[in-house]
Amino acid sequence: MSAAILAYGAASALGVGAEAFEVGGAGAAPKDCWSARRGGKPFARVNGLSAAHAERPRALLELGLDQVVAGLSERLPGWQNLRLGVAIGTSSGGFAALERALAGEPVAAAACAYFSPLAALSSRLPRAPERLVSVYAACASSTIALGLGLRWLELGDVDLVLAGGYDAESEWVCAGFDALRATSNERPRPFRAERDGMALGEGVALLALGRPELAALGYVNGFGASTDAVHITAPDRTGRSLARAARRALEDAALPPERVDFVSVHGTGTSFNDAAEGAALQLIFGERPSGLALHAFKSVVGHTLGAAGALESLAAVSAFQQGVRPASASRGEPMPELAGRLLERNEAAPVEHCLKLSTAFGGANAALVLSRSTAALGSRPDRAVHVAAAGGSVSALVPARVEPLLVSPPERLPRSDLLSELCVAAAAELLRVVAERGLPLERLRTGVVVGSASASLQADVEFGARILAQGLAHAEPRRFPATSPNACAGHVAIAFGLGGPSHAVGSGVGAADEALLVARDWLRAGDADAMLVVAAEHAEEGARRVLDAVGVPLPNGARALLLTAGSFGPLLEDGRYFADFCR
């Protein structure tokens, strides 16, 4: 089944509303919207947003929500009476508030939780949604959120979905990418031989998705997700994992690759990412790529992290409406292995289909098929899901218990990241039980969802310690990846060679049950055959004060369950909770 795009809310450096993503008509070139951040590197900032730095994440989300609610009220009267699901992705959540609080500014502790910006929902929705998920998948967050929303509609769990993502400017996040040498001193040049890094931005993009019979701006016709299971920050250079996600999305939409009119690429402008994405394009499209149009929207609005996939999807919808293959603001010589072409000006064309690609820290990959019209697809079978095994509780990673089960070398185990260590240890205890029982596990079809209310708060505090002591230029590159809340899921996938969907969730104190239900969604819809569900918390001192302020009195530690689409254990029915299977 397709999902109709009924309304949107968006903001980027280009503007607010449709201005945030409009690509213009035939012959138009991308607009210039760059400014600078501290230190002089380019940054794509949302102008006219008066919120203080610590309040900026929530203010961006409110800006998007106000627009999408107004659009729904105009296009779908009575939407307030429908069963609503909300899936909102972010890479850094309330990080901007935390960095100000740790610097000594008067910021409420509750504002520093990763899920704190979601408080904007309560005053803008008519009632609590049927489903609420905060998706943590770094730069693929909003793409995965849109895929999850599509699945909810297909499975009949809700009638209407609000899905997308947001991220606000954070000096510490910028410093982290600088420390990894991933940013450029100039505007980004994705897929060019001269490329030398990304340029960051901020933004929000929320899409209202509904049944395909409704009048729509465009359609989400397919989704796929995979995990590299190679490295926590570097991509799979072969492109195979990203190509798997793309093929699944195309198969989901019943669309052959030759019917794709253009690809909305991830296109960060970093050396390894662009090369890996180019390799994936060659695998997906075979001999066609030299003439395939690519749209690298990050060259226009910067890398908006958790908002990127949704903003880029809206830009694709704009291209459908304008009847163009959209241009990118990336000048220079094409990289020799470029599998496709970037346009300097929009080309008039009867475009019907776009393949949207996203990649992220943790090795997460996601792909969407976006189209002008709905696809003639059959209904999706709803598979039964079983709890196949439960592992014991852990409070620390013990190498001697983990190493015999590893697929990757022991040196790939997480370091200086206690939340990820707990998740790997819990997964090892679970996989030991799986091996003892002789349960089958196809690792490329097995994913990971981590539920954590604390998310990476503790890692953020530890990452910020040197910045506070010595300045932004001294940010530690080894500590920065752990500030991404999905790093823990990525480490589990790397350790045990798992190639299915991987990410974290955590919209509040019920993060463990949130993860259980999302893993069940992926299995019901056929996106995986098995899912590891890990409930994990780790917080000390400053991070613990934040959790206490929001009423999350969860102990440190982790535990994991295995869900399967095969009948290897009790059926996971509505009304069952994570704790029910850990007794």
Please answer whether residues 485 and 452 qualify as being in contact, where contact means their C-beta atoms are separated by less than 8 angstroms: yes
Please answer whether residues 165 and 142 qualify as being in contact, where contact means their C-beta atoms are separated by less than 8 angstroms: yes
The DSSP call for residue 402 is: H
- Asked if 538 is an active-site residue, the reply is no
User: Dihedral of the CA atoms 420, 422, 423, 425 (nearest 10)?
Assistant: 120
Nearest 5°: the CA angle 260, 233, 296 is 30
Tokens representing residue 355 in the block: 């393949």
User: Dihedral of the CA atoms 143, 149, 153, 157 (nearest 10)?
Assistant: 150
Please identify which of the residues 33, 112, 139, 423 carries the catalytic annotation: 139
- Asked if 303 is an active-site residue, the reply is yes
Residue 20 parent element (H or E): none
The DSSP call for residue 25 is: S
Please answer whether residues 537 and 453 qualify as being in contact, where contact means their C-beta atoms are separated by less than 8 angstroms: yes
- 336 C-beta neighbours (distance < 10 Å), count: 7
**Which residue stretches of 306-390 are H helix?**
308-322
Minimal CA–CA distance to 374: which of 28, 2, 66, 40?
Answer: 2
Residue 531 parent element (H or E): strand 530-537
> CB-hemisphere CA count at 13 Å for 359?
33
Please identify which of the residues 33, 112, 231, 303 carries the catalytic annotation: 303
Amino acid occupying residue 246:
A
Concatenated DSSP letters for 107-158? Answer: --GGGGSTTGGGGGGTTTSSS--SEEEEEE-GGGHHHHHHHHHHHHHHHTS-
Alpha carbon 485 to its chain centroid, in Å, reads 10
Please answer whether residues 65 and 7 qualify as being in contact, where contact means their C-beta atoms are separated by less than 8 angstroms: no
- 438 C-beta neighbours (distance < 10 Å), count: 6
Please answer whether residues 515 and 450 qualify as being in contact, where contact means their C-beta atoms are separated by less than 8 angstroms: yes
User: Dihedral of the CA atoms 277, 167, 534, 567 (nearest 10)?
Assistant: -60
Phi/psi at 234 (5° precision): -90, 145
Minimal CA–CA distance to 265: which of 281, 283, 249?
Answer: 281
Cα 359 to Cα 277, 294, 328, 485: the distances in Å are: 9, 16, 19, 15
Amino acid occupying residue 475:
A
Phi/psi at 478 (5° precision): -70, -25
Please identify which of the residues 266, 295, 491, 538 carries the catalytic annotation: 266
Q: Give dist(CA 456, CA 441) in Å, integer.
A: 29
User: What amino acid positions are annotated as catalytic residues?
Assistant: 139, 266, 303
